Amino acid sequence: MCQLLGMNCNTPTDIVFSFEGFTQRGGTTDHHTDGWGIAFFEERACRLLMDCQPSATSPVAHLVRSYPIKSLNVIAHIRKATQGEVNLQNCHPFVREMWGRHWVFAHNGNLIDFHPELDGLYSPIGSTDSERAFCYILQELRRVFEGRTAANPPTPVEINAALKPIAADVARFGVFNFCLSNGQVMWAHCSTNLYFIVREHPFTTAHLLDTDVLIDFADHTTPDDRVAVIATAPLTDNEVWYKMLKNESMMFVNGHPL
């Protein structure tokens, strides 16, 4: 399996604290050593950094930890291969363009015998069940919103309604926890394991589970800031994380779970 990390905020925020703990699971505190990746949105485009090396030792992950990139929407993933070889084209997150925006997707789980009919609009580059699921989701969203263009895209609320049955359809094939973002909002679907926390005023301290790092968010925030963090397993040991229900889908907007 793999581990997911998502962040959705109302003000550009760096993910260095969460990423610090998360990447320890790629070789130090856990065995997710088959590559990793992180996508940071900047407006409608994302910056994607990834590596086939374990995240705990990768020079690219070191760059991410030492060069804070602020973003409203971030998705990260560390991989423990279940389907597909260990190589770059099988690393999450996956990125495609739709309606003049990047779309970013990362998956935790395993889909058995999932080979949807793809019409060629989006084709997998690698050999994972995850990328097939992503291509299928985008294809189905295009089908639901046929005729919509970059000049006239569906709203996040419209997309949210369309996404739920598509996610449920794919989830019939196995474990399907995912984070998806188009830079406007973040969608999270829980099939078995997905947690989130919303940090907002009054901010307090947080202590990482995977490495002995403590932060006082009050030192780094304003009273108006709000940040939602989504993860396969809680990243801190002194905060209460909400465990999403089986088959629960949520949309995060400006750090608010809806």
Q: Site for its own copies (CB under 8 A): which residue of 113, 149, 212, 224?
A: 149
- Among 130, 103, 133, smallest CA distance to 116 is for 133
Least distance to its own copies, CB of residue 37, Å: 10
CB of 257 to its own copies, least distance (A): 27
Q: Is residue 107 within the footprint of its own copies (CB under 8 A)?
A: no
Q: What span, in angstroms and rounded, lies between the C-alpha atoms of 51 and 90?
A: 10
Inter-residue contact 197 to 239 (CB < 8 Å) = yes
Residue 48 near its own copies by CB under 8 A: yes
Q: In what order do the strands lie in the sheet with 174-181?
A: 94-98, 101-111, 174-181, 186-190, 248-253, 256-257
Question: Is 158 one of the binding residues for its own copies (CB under 8 A)?
Answer: no
Measured from the CB atom, the residue of 96 and 226 that comes closer to its own copies is 96
Q: What minimum distance in Å lies between the beta carbon of 127 and its own copies?
A: 10
The single residue among 117, 120, 202, 219 that binds its own copies, judged by CB under 8 A, is 120
The rounded distance, in Å, linking the Cα atoms of 219 and 197 is 19
Q: How far is the CB of 158 from its own copies (least distance, A)?
A: 17
Beta carbons of 124 and 201 less than 8 angstroms apart: no
Where b means 16+ CB within 10 Å and e means fewer, 150-189 reads: eeebeebeebbebbeebbeebbebbbbbbbbbbbbbbbbb
Instruction: For residue 2, indicate whether it is catalytic.
Output: yes
DSSP 56: T
Whole-angstrom distance, CA of residue 220 vs CA of residue 13: 10
What is the residue type of 117? Answer: E
**Per CB under 8 A, 121 contacts its own copies:** yes
Q: How far apart are the C-alpha atoms of 151 and 245, rounded to whole Å?
A: 36
Residue appearing with tokens 């002194």: 238
Measured distance CA(221)–CA(114) in Å, rounded: 44
For position 154 contacting its own copies by CB under 8 A, the verdict is no
Least distance in angstroms from the C-beta of 195 to its own copies: 30
211 binds its own copies (CB under 8 A): no
Rg (CA), the chain: 17
| Number of residues in contact with its own copies under rule CB under 8 A | 33
Residue of the chain from 100, 115, 214, 258 that contacts its own copies (CB under 8 A)? 100
Q: Which one, 86 or 175, has the nearer CB to its own copies? A: 86
CB closer to its own copies out of 40 and 176: 40
Shortest Å distance, C-beta 132 to its own copies = 11
- Cβ proximity to its own copies, 7 vs 235, nearer residue: 7
Residues in the chain: 258
Choosing from 31, 112, 115, 125, the residue that interacts with its own copies (CB under 8 A) is: 125
Please report, as ranges, the residues that interact with its own copies according to CB under 8 A.
Answer: 42-45, 47-50, 59-60, 63, 66-67, 87-89, 95-102, 120-126, 149-150
